[in-house]
Amino acid sequence: MLALTRTSRVSVDFVQISELAAAAGTTPRALRFYEQAGLLMAARDDRGYREYDAADLAVVRQIRSLADIGFTLEETRPFVDCLRAGNECGDVCAGSIETYRRKLEALDAAIADLQHSRQSIAAALDAVSARHTITED
């Protein structure tokens, strides 16, 4: 059962996969994928249906928010582990902070590579412009 509180937070008793997907803004297929990756662990009811709770909703929201800013599914693992350890946020643990640092380093390297490529292309354009009159095709 899903319920909205005054602070617009969703509270979850136990819900099935389609309800969790709707609450998290994703699909049941994505939730099954997270489960296969070991990031989401569903309980099963007596009929064998997956059941999820508020902690699972927090995990899925953490995964989705990190994916939205470029993290791979595997890179979300330290954040999920941090939540599973009982922390209110997934980014307060050492592993999460280290993952942020590694991601920033990778982004800085990618930006430097792109800047180098841009400078090379700009130099090539300048050189051809200096040698030839550019015509419309």
Query: DSSP letters of 66-134?
Result: HHHTT--TGGGHHHHHHHHTT-SSTTSSHHHHHHHHHHHHHHHHHHHHHHHHHHHHHHHHHHHHHHS--
pLDDT at position 2: 47
pLDDT at position 20: 95
pLDDT at position 135: 75
pLDDT at position 137: 67
Residues in the chain with pLDDT < 70? 1-12, 137
Residue ranges of domains in the chain? 2-131
Q: Does domain 2-131 have CATH number 1.10.1660.10?
A: yes
pLDDT at position 38: 96
Angle at 56 between CA 51 and CA 57, to 5 degrees: 110
- Is this prediction's pTM over 0.85? no
Q: What is the mean pLDDT of the chain?
A: 90
